Chain A
Amino acid sequence: MIEALGISLKVLAVDVPLLLLAGTALGWLFARRRFPGREALLLIVQLPVALPPSVLGLYLLLLVGRVPVLRSLGLLFSFPGAALAALLPALPIMVQAARSGFLSVSPALEEAARTLGDPEWRVFRRVTLPLARRPLVAGLSLATARALGDFGVTLMVAGNIPGRTQTLPLYIYSRIEALEFGRANLAAALLVAVGVASLLLVKRMEGGRREPLV
């Protein structure tokens, strides 16, 4: 189990920063900018959350297996493949949270910051980001739980290779297949604890005041 836990943590170590950066950037883009193809891009980004993991896994498998450039990256049945598989269904959760977080920041506040001498990046750092921080943290927490819990997409793209791509959810599946319920239960309890913790964090972010995080 320690091995599977290690792989799961490695997946998170790669995916959490990516979720934070890409999710925040895309969420800001969809909240604050109008550009050609915006609706189509939004649909594509949000689609993974609405698709069954097997369908998403199938298309991802075809994409990284058949497109020569992607194929040469060697993503199939490898750790990078597992990280990508966990990332995709989690990203829409982060994008959606970031988008509604940024939409909740009044543009008048950003305008005030501009007239007080801040260029765009400083407006973002001093006003937009701090005011959207709670929804961002809540979104990141849920997206992380989703990435940690991915089963179907990872199985399709990265397989279930112990020591390489076997994450905790896949480990549970393998233990049940081997009728080792004790180990399966232990791993499941760990995932339940992470799920509960992430929901508690979301609750705290949603219920708290708008004033600084303690």
Chain B
Amino acid sequence: MSPWCEASLEHRLGEFHLQVELALDREVGVLFGPSGAGKSLTLRILAGLVNPRRGEIRLAGRELLRLPGGVNVPAHSRRIGLVHQHLALFPHLTVLENVAYGLHDSKRERRAREWLGRMRLEGLEARYPGQLSGGQQQRVALARALAPEPELLLLDEPFSALDSPLRRSLRRELKLLQRDTGVPVFYVTHHVEDLCALGQRVFFLREGRLAGSATPEQLWAPQSPASAWAALGWGTVITGVVEHRDGVARLKWADGALHLDSPAAVAGAATAFVAPQAVKVLYPDIPVDPDLAVNAMEGTVLERYQVGASCTLHVAAAGVNWHLEFPWHSYRDVELEEGAAVRISVLPRFVEVARAGDSGEGQS
């Protein structure tokens, strides 16, 4: 049986070249990758807001796009819901009117009220979006997108502006909603935590290409974490053990340890991810932020190259090959030639821990 949603897309935007193939059943697929990888563009093409140069989209047995070939169902007939990064709630409409926006039958108000109840938004019907908290706005946006019963829901980092506890509770709600409605979801994020908590399938995007896809279990399987992440070729993955000592959580492995910022991290075998922007080079003669100092490591530059305005560095330190990315004009005073000795560090809050085989629920 063919998947619920299949897409093969190619598009050029200036220098950027997007070429991805995606297949999704009635599950949550996470599009994961660094910013500028083409994640949002992929969603916009799926939604029908951008016309690609060529491509095919099939959803629930319907052909939505075939270019060249002349099939291009407009956005309003695709039955694909989209929650924009900045939510895009209609400021001139009340909460109830926002949620009812995509409903057109005689029961629209009743159905909108049902959704408000489901999203715990009762009593806010008459408010305007500007009068709601961040979390309430997110729930209105989700309700508005789900009320017309779309055949696919696209979420473009909708929780990115929220702090961690709220993110976690919204993620849980989203997961339950997905389970109840069965609507397949593409979720764009560059947070590993989201990926672990939500994803049933992960698509790695890098520079406009699909670098691989996996299930989260494969991703964190203790025997081969590196291979799944190698597909992405981005960031640093460390396998070790979470320990608590003197009220401080640390991730320990054979040749090193890192302080963590999550006191609730469950002790035991764990895999952690560090995004390349989170690893910092320390200047030799300048005092270091205490938070950075606890995780300082001595290392050696293995490789250094520049792509556009971004510099990539691979550093061997504490038995791990660290991946760093920074703007080309940073660290100009530091000796970073291949073979040079260098001190690096990472802020505890940027070490994202996922326990092996954990769906992420345990962290909330």
Q: B90 touching A112 by the CB < 8 A rule?
A: yes
Q: A108 touching B88 by the CB < 8 A rule?
A: yes
CB-contact partner of A108 in B84, B92, B104, under 8 A = B84
CB contacts under 8 Å to A, within B58-116, are: 74-82, 84, 86, 88, 90-92, 101-102, 104
Closest chain-A Cβ to B109's Cβ sits at a distance in Å of 16
Q: B144 touching A116 by the CB < 8 A rule?
A: yes
Q: A111 touching B82 by the CB < 8 A rule?
A: yes
Nearest A residue to B82 via CB reads A115
Q: A112 touching B128 by the CB < 8 A rule?
A: no
Nearest B residue to A114 via CB reads B75
Closest chain-B Cβ to A113's Cβ sits at a distance in Å of 7
Nearest A residue to B101 via CB reads A116
Closest chain-B Cβ to A46's Cβ sits at a distance in Å of 29
Q: B49 touching A119 by the CB < 8 A rule?
A: no
Chain A's interface size range is 10 to 19
Not counting A109-B88, A112-B82, A116-B76, a sample of 14 additional A-B residue pairs whose C-beta atoms are within 8 angstroms of each other reads: A106-B88, A109-B90, A109-B91, A111-B47, A112-B88, A114-B74, A114-B75, A115-B81, A116-B144, A117-B76, A117-B102, A131-B92, A210-B92, A212-B92
Given contacts A114-B75, A115-B80, A119-B74, contact A210 B91 (CB under 8 A): yes
Given contacts A108-B84, A108-B86, A211-B128, contact A115 B92 (CB under 8 A): no
B: residues with CB less than 8 A from A are 47-49, 74-82, 84, 86, 88, 90-92, 101-102, 104, 128, 130, 144-145, 148
A113 proximity list for chain B (CB < 8 A)? 90, 101
The dominant DSSP class at the B interface is loop
A115 proximity list for chain B (CB < 8 A)? 47-49, 75-76, 78, 80-82, 145
Nearest B residue to A109 via CB reads B88
A: residues with CB less than 8 A from B are 106, 108-109, 111-119, 126-127, 130-131, 210-212
Nearest B residue to A112 via CB reads B88
B148 proximity list for chain A (CB < 8 A)? 116-117
Q: How far is the CA of A118 from the CA of B82 in the complex (A)?
A: 13
Q: B101 touching A111 by the CB < 8 A rule?
A: no
Q: How far is the CA of A185 from the CA of B48 in the complex (A)?
A: 61
Q: How far is the CA of A111 from the CA of B86 in the complex (A)?
A: 12
Closest chain-A Cβ to B94's Cβ sits at a distance in Å of 9
B78 proximity list for chain A (CB < 8 A)? 115
Q: B88 touching A111 by the CB < 8 A rule?
A: yes
List 19 A-B pairs, Cβ < 8 Å. A111-B49, A111-B82, A111-B88, A112-B88, A114-B74, A114-B75, A115-B48, A115-B76, A115-B80, A115-B81, A115-B82, A116-B144, A117-B76, A117-B79, A118-B76, A127-B90, A130-B92, A210-B130, A211-B92
Closest chain-A Cβ to B66's Cβ sits at a distance in Å of 20
Q: How far is the CA of A212 from the CA of B78 in the complex (A)?
A: 31
